[in-house]
Structure 1
Amino acid sequence: MSFMSWTGAQAHLDQMRSLPNLSGVGIITRDRDSGQVKVGSDREPVVHHRISAYDAAHMRTGIEGAARIVEAAGARKLFSGHQRGRIWERGRGSIDDFIRHTNTLGTAPGQIAMAALHIMGAARMGGGRATSAAGPDGATWEVPNLVIADASTFPASSGVNPMISVEAIAYMNAQRLAAGL
């Protein structure tokens, strides 16, 4: 429900009551363009990222594909994660009209709910300090005894759910760390 636009307390309550008959569809895209992580004034990391036009086009394609899939599967209602989005209801407008409407709503902050589920490549492993945050064993170049073992060690986004790859990297890096202790 975190991706549902807020249109009022009653609408939210009605949607919450419909949860037994509700299914979510996540649109996962492989972003091409990146952002930056900088150290804030409080010395904490701050992510700076705005979705590029190229990546936004892929998101719109994903939303369109998901809408067509759930409509074909018999969904009676659907909505996108757009704040100003509308709910499509079977028999009250075409799926094409819904898709055209969502394409006009934008992807800037505050326009659509998004989440980064697996941040890949943010602290990549590699062969040298100039191109990576950590060595091939996940040990960081700058902080002794700090080993990275998650999706941030990937060279780039894989474009798919990385669960098995993350488990393999974590296992490999943990084994190398344990052997060195």
Structure 2
Amino acid sequence: MRKGIEAGVRILEAAGAKEVFTSQAAYVSYRPGQRGGIEAFMNDVDRHGYGPGQMSYVSFHQMGTCRMGNDPATSVIGPDHQVHVVKGLFVADGSTFPSASGVNPMITIMAMAHRASRFIAAAC
């Protein structure tokens, strides 16, 4: 975790960030050029800890874990949203995307779920 945070801070600083902060419960921040530099910031991060109740880990809009395609060797589900190797099992969420879209996928996921519902209904 520490290595990832430090690498992220260095990347953000190189990109021109004015302030960088962690997801720790205590507000821990770094301003490029600050006295002590990144090492002082990382020591502060270490002091506040990485464990349960000390940091928040969040992930939104997971996509691409059950890729759709015709070839079972490169995809999990077919164009009908059905899992290649399990007849009757359908996937109807953002995991059907080939990869992350880079934008909020809510409407596309709703459209894909609606599309999948037709295949599910036809299979029943």
Gaps of 5+ in 2: none
Could you say which residue in structure 2 is the equivalent of 1:132? 75
Residue 121 (str. 1) matches residue 72 (str. 2): no
Amino acid at match of 2:69: G
TM superposition shift of 1:165: 1.2
Quote the sequence identity (%). 34
Under a length normalisation based on structure 2, what TM-score does the superposition of the two structures give?
Answer: 0.62
Residue pairs, 1:103-118, within 5 angstroms? 110=50, 113-118=56-61
Gaps of 5+ in 1: 1-49, 72-77, 89-93
Write the distance in 2 (CA, Å) between the matches of 1:180 and 1:157.
29
Q: Summarize deviations over 1:87-118 as a string: whole Å, max 9, x none.
A: 45xxxxx843399436x959xxx475332222
Residue 158 (str. 1) matches residue 111 (str. 2): no
TM superposition shift of 1:86: 4.6
TM superposition shift of 1:157: 1.2
Write the distance in 2 (CA, Å) between the matches of 1:79 and 1:116.
17
Size of the aligned set, in residue pairs, is 107
Write the distance in 2 (CA, Å) between the matches of 1:57 and 1:158.
22
Write the distance in 2 (CA, Å) between the matches of 1:134 and 1:105.
42
TM superposition shift of 1:79: 5.0
